[in-house]
A = this chain, B = another copy of it.
Amino acid sequence: MEEFTVTPWEVTGKVDYDKLTKQFGTKRIDDGLRERIKKHAGELHTLLQRDFFFSHRDLDLVLDDYEKKKGFFLYTGRGPSGPMHIGHLIPMIFTKWLQEKFKVNLYIEITDDEKFLVKREAAWEGIQKHADENIVEIAAVGFDPDRTFIFKDSEYVKNVYPLLMKTAKRINYSTVRAVFGFNEQSNIGLMFYPAYQAVPAFFEKKRCLIPCAIDQDPFWRIQRDVAEGLGYKKTAAIHSKFLPPLQGTLGKMSASQVETAIWLNDDEKTVKQKVMKYAFSGGQASVEEHRKKGGRTEVDVPYQWLNMLFEPNYRKLKQIHDDYETGKMLTGELKQILADRVNQFLSGHRNQRKKAEKTINRYLYDGKLAKQMWSKEF
By a beta-carbon cutoff of 8 Å, the part of chain A in contact with chain B is 113, 116-117, 124, 154-155, 157-158, 161-162, 164-166, 168-174, 176-177, 182-192, 194-195
Specify which chain B residues have a CB less than 8 angstroms from the CB of A172 in the assembled complex: 184-188
Instruction: Pick from B124, B173, B185: contact of A166, CB below 8 A.
Output: B124
Question: B192, A184: Cβ atoms under 8 Å?
Answer: no
Q: In whole Å, how far is A277's beta carbon from the nearest beta carbon of chain B?
A: 38
Instruction: Pick from B169, B177, B186, B188: contact of A117, CB below 8 A.
Output: B169
Provide the bound-state CA to CA distance between A187 and B174, in Å. Answer: 9
Question: A162, B173: Cβ atoms under 8 Å?
Answer: no
* A-B pairs with beta carbons under 8 Å apart, 22 shown: A113-B165, A116-B165, A116-B166, A117-B169, A124-B165, A155-B158, A157-B158, A158-B158, A168-B188, A168-B189, A170-B187, A171-B187, A172-B184, A172-B185, A172-B186, A173-B173, A173-B187, A173-B191, A174-B184, A176-B188, A188-B192, A191-B192
Q: In whole Å, how far is A103's beta carbon from the nearest beta carbon of chain B?
A: 32
Instruction: Pick from B162, B164, B189: contact of A165, CB below 8 A.
Output: B189
Provide the bound-state CA to CA distance between A165 and B195, in Å. Answer: 14
* Closest residue on chain B to residue A186 by CB atoms: B173
Q: In whole Å, how far is A172's beta carbon from the nearest beta carbon of chain B?
A: 5
* Closest residue on chain B to residue A153 by CB atoms: B161
Complex copy number for this chain: 2
Provide the bound-state CA to CA distance between A172 and B190, in Å. Answer: 9
Specify which chain B residues have a CB less than 8 angstroms from the CB of A155 in the assembled complex: 158
Question: B184, A188: Cβ atoms under 8 Å?
Answer: no
* Closest residue on chain B to residue A159 by CB atoms: B158
* Closest residue on chain B to residue A128 by CB atoms: B162
Question: A183, B192: Cβ atoms under 8 Å?
Answer: no
Q: In whole Å, how far is A230's beta carbon from the nearest beta carbon of chain B?
A: 11
Question: B173, A185: Cβ atoms under 8 Å?
Answer: yes
Provide the bound-state CA to CA distance between A170 and B190, in Å. Answer: 11
Specify which chain B residues have a CB less than 8 angstroms from the CB of A157 in the assembled complex: 157-158, 161
* Closest residue on chain B to residue A184 by CB atoms: B174
Q: In whole Å, how far is A123's beta carbon from the nearest beta carbon of chain B?
A: 9
Question: A117, B168: Cβ atoms under 8 Å?
Answer: yes
Question: B182, A173: Cβ atoms under 8 Å?
Answer: yes
Q: In whole Å, how far is A133's beta carbon from the nearest beta carbon of chain B?
A: 18
- Taking A165-B189, A189-B195 as given, write out 15 further A-B residue pairs in contact, using a Cβ cutoff of 8 Å, ordered by the A residue number: A117-B168, A124-B166, A154-B158, A154-B161, A157-B161, A164-B189, A168-B188, A169-B189, A169-B190, A172-B187, A173-B173, A173-B187, A173-B188, A174-B184, A192-B192
Specify which chain B residues have a CB less than 8 angstroms from the CB of A171 in the assembled complex: 187-189
Provide the bound-state CA to CA distance between A31 and B164, in Å. Answer: 48
Specify which chain B residues have a CB less than 8 angstroms from the CB of A173 in the assembled complex: 173, 182-188, 191
Say yes or no: A124-B162 contact (C-beta < 8 A), given A117-B168, A157-B157, A184-B174: yes
Q: In whole Å, how far is A114's beta carbon from the nearest beta carbon of chain B?
A: 9
Provide the bound-state CA to CA distance between A161 and B176, in Å. Answer: 22
* Interface hub of A169, A170, A188 (most chain B Cβ within 10 A): A188
Provide the bound-state CA to CA distance between A169 and B123, in Å. Answer: 11
Question: A188, B183: Cβ atoms under 8 Å?
Answer: no
Q: In whole Å, how far is A26's beta carbon from the nearest beta carbon of chain B?
A: 24
